[in-house]
Chain A
């Protein structure tokens, strides 16, 4: 195991234990609730923060709480050493708001709204939204079933060389 791996592991553990309360620190394998994870500065202003927590969470109640292992999964997927396949896989799951395995019109609309922000003056008009979604589906839906599945998504991603460097979170 390389030294930088240990350095990253220790800094991740340090940041994670800062989120625990004093009593929780002694419990093994405890799960930090989503609200506290979202106080991390790296996630606080990210419009996809809730989706990120839900995707990496292994909790049975689907509440988005993360154990330390889930937190490590999150960091490794967003790190420098994750391959394009892993990043595109997790990006797909983050953008799939209804968790049905494809990106349909509802998912795409929510995605564009997250990208352009919550305020009214940065939202697209419904007309523009409809045109945008039609164009996206036309460009990326190869088998013409009205949704973008994982392979089609990965095909679009592979054409953008900037994706790997922008899908990165550094602690």
Chain B
């Protein structure tokens, strides 16, 4: 009688009993024994149907043991019946296992194999997840201490605790799965349930079953304090989820984003999502600076200085004039502690300096130390922005980094390249065309990979690359020098006017001439990337992603050098001796410069959108008679956004209202770019890897952009002398001293805090701490890279093992087929003999 062979590999005894298959003969013998037994049982009949029926019945029983039959005759049973009907005429089909004709019996066995039923069989899914939850439980349980065991205990303590589950054989797989789910922690259970590819109704049934029992056990086992902690944690988690879902349900720009993704796909969508991310950064920054700096100062304005110019329209462009002495700039802020007026005349005159306070007023009213607030707000907001940036960078990196260098470009392209978000019919058609072109290119590449370039060709390619790089570097250097000389010319001009004492004839013209430098820089930022594109056009790259990275690298080089020379001009020239150009307050001047640069950048972006996209489309349609619209260059636009954000971060110290200007700019930019893209552009033809590019852009936002801005701000606060007649840090040697003085005052008042002061001086001011921190960071990175290397090796080994298993499977199937053929032919011979007689 045929035995039921249960292949439950998770059974603990099975693991112990696996022998090493060194003895090949032994393994083969056992199988042939089994097959011989079966053939003996069915030997009496002269048709093969009987054996097949028996085999099928065994398989049915086996499946009934491992698979849960859910309510009523489940789908899978009906599905199997239908599949049976299909296979009656499947005899003539060639099964590509190794390309031979299989009998219907073999086909039945092939189709019932677990690797092929897992995709469509509900019971198989439940069984698979039962195994996974079992593994998870084993991993999660803590090993009991050795001293809890008696000396004669078995050495293996794996599975301890799980063996206390009821080992009732009649309990179905589904109930066992529910049992496993109950024994997992809440977060693990939620994760497992979410990952199961089952219907919504079945999942809710499983969830309610798992929670039901938990409610009973919870009230029984957990003492009251843990229950309270459980409620608090649960409540906090619910509160956090509802806050997140509230934020999400605000649906900022959901409809326009859906339209863009419906027409252009994920690549162009990622630009708008990046814009949205920057908007949130700026909103956060503005809320912080607004609440702690702008609002208190606005509520207690200092005495207005004499001779305030009237409002002309030019202020909106230059930021100077009427706006100079407002809360927009650094110079307006007071350097004393703000206190509310003690007089009851309702006046809003501000009072006292921190030294001479009226004693009877102090205790009644709140005080606000403005310099300290300014210092700490800038510091804390920079720190928080840094943390958020590093966190989102690491999250994005984790999502897009893949361990093994994939050689399966074609398979990935086939399975993953269809963008289901694209809805519009013409875009779908365009996407199909793009995919077809990419397939043809990849196939050509794969088949011609063997062609090696001759030495001459390689040399020629190197020369072309060298020429292109030379053009780019030369043009960048030329532009940077132009900016340097232009700024030094203007600087000398101002010095000359001041020294010569010529009265100012037209102050408005002087103000407008301040716009010359921003216009020059924006023009350079607009035109030079076009030149880089032209240079790249004549080059020949191995792959489109290399081309993208080189283009990003060149643009980055340009922007970093431009910003570098500007920072030198402001911090090195203007801040060094501001009196020679007649500035009483150099920080306000630098703040105004940054405002002008930001605004000019915005105006030139609009002009670029107008000319680059709108007019070019009209030109190419009407004059060149081309049907294709211009392509939206995602990388270039994102770099523009990053440049603007760097300016905003640089300027927060000098212009606390700059984040608000940036918010307005981003809002307007969103709508302008959205309408321009919809009207004038088409999706990029080259394949665009969204995750990788998003990671690159967030990294660029963090490293050159934020790091550079914070280095400049730190340098300003650490080493540069603030103006002596304006701002919250006047009369201090450096801005940093505001914090230091406060710590000294605290120490004076309360000697117990001297520990804190000493810790402060050791940690923050000592560069040794930074080196140690950086060293630890590098060591952690090294360890992680070693782990990744090890995982790569394991992946290679596992792939070899799977290939060997595949060989086993092929061997078994062909052996099965030959056995059946052998059985069939003597039977047929017998039948023909009978008929002949």
Contacts and interface: CB of A to CB of B under 8 A. Distances in A.
Nearest to B807: A144
B420 interface: yes
Contacts, number: 210
A91 B416 CA distance: 9
Interface residues of B, number: 77
A101 B803 contact: no
Given A86-B197, A143-B806, A78 B420 contact: yes
B6 interface: no
A158 B249 CA distance: 30
B725 interface: no
Interface in B388-421: 399-402, 404, 406-412, 414-421
Contacts of A159: 402, 404, 406, 408, 412
Contacts of B799: 142
Interface string A149-162: 11101001111111
A44 B805 CA distance: 43
Interface in B74-126: 75, 78, 83, 96-99, 111, 115-120
Interface in B676-692: 689-692
Interface in A119-135: 122-124, 128, 131-132, 135
A135 to B, nearest CB: 5
B435 interface: yes
Main secondary structure of the interface of B (DSSP, over half): helix
A159 B197 CA distance: 20
Interface stretch (A17-25, A31-39, A104-112): A104-112
Interface in B440-458: 440, 443, 446-447
Nearest to A72: B200
Contacts of A108: 414
A40 B691 CA distance: 29
A5 to B, nearest CB: 7
A160 B412 contact: yes
Main secondary structure of the interface of A (DSSP, over half): helix
Contacts of A150: 115, 118-119
A65 B436 CA distance: 32
A94 B80 CA distance: 19
Contacts of A101: 111, 115-120
B750 interface: no
Interface string A68-103: 010011001110011101100111110110011110
B828 interface: no
Interface string A44-69: 11111000000000101000000001
Contacts of A105: 96
B477 interface: no
B428 interface: yes
B206 to A, nearest CB: 15
A166 to B, nearest CB: 4
B412 A166 contact: no
Contact of B421 (A4, A82, A85, A168): A168
Nearest to A135: B410
A145 B805 CA distance: 10
B241 interface: yes
A41 interface: yes
Contact of A166 (B78, B409, B418, B423): B418
A74 B758 CA distance: 61
Nearest to A128: B443
A96 B119 CA distance: 10
B432 A145 contact: no
Contact of A153 (B415, B436, B690): B415
B771 interface: no
Nearest to A43: B423
B201 interface: yes
B96 A147 contact: yes
Nearest to A147: B96
A122 B430 CA distance: 10
Interface in B180-203: 194-197, 199-201
A132 B439 contact: yes
Contacts of B200: 69, 72-73, 76
Given A3-B242, A124-B439, A161-B692, 13 more contacts: A3-B245, A69-B199, A85-B197, A86-B195, A90-B197, A101-B115, A102-B119, A136-B410, A145-B97, A150-B119, A151-B118, A156-B412, A162-B691
List 7 A-B pairs, minimum CB-CB distance, nearest first: A143-B806, A117-B432, A146-B96, A101-B116, A139-B408, A161-B691, A2-B245
Interface of B: 75, 78, 83, 96-99, 111, 115-120, 194-197, 199-201, 241-242, 244-246, 248-249, 258, 261, 266, 399-402, 404, 406-412, 414-421, 423-425, 428-429, 432-433, 435-436, 439-440, 443, 446-447, 689-692, 799, 802-803, 805-807, 809-810
29 contacts: A2-B245, A4-B249, A5-B245, A44-B425, A47-B418, A58-B199, A81-B194, A86-B194, A86-B197, A89-B197, A93-B119, A95-B415, A96-B119, A100-B116, A101-B118, A102-B116, A115-B418, A116-B435, A117-B432, A136-B410, A136-B414, A146-B97, A146-B99, A149-B115, A151-B118, A156-B415, A156-B416, A166-B416, A166-B421
Interface of A: 2-5, 7, 41-42, 44-48, 58, 60, 69, 72-73, 76-78, 81-83, 85-86, 89-93, 95-96, 99-102, 104-105, 108, 111-112, 115-117, 122-124, 128, 131-132, 135-136, 139-140, 142-147, 149-151, 153, 156-163, 165-170
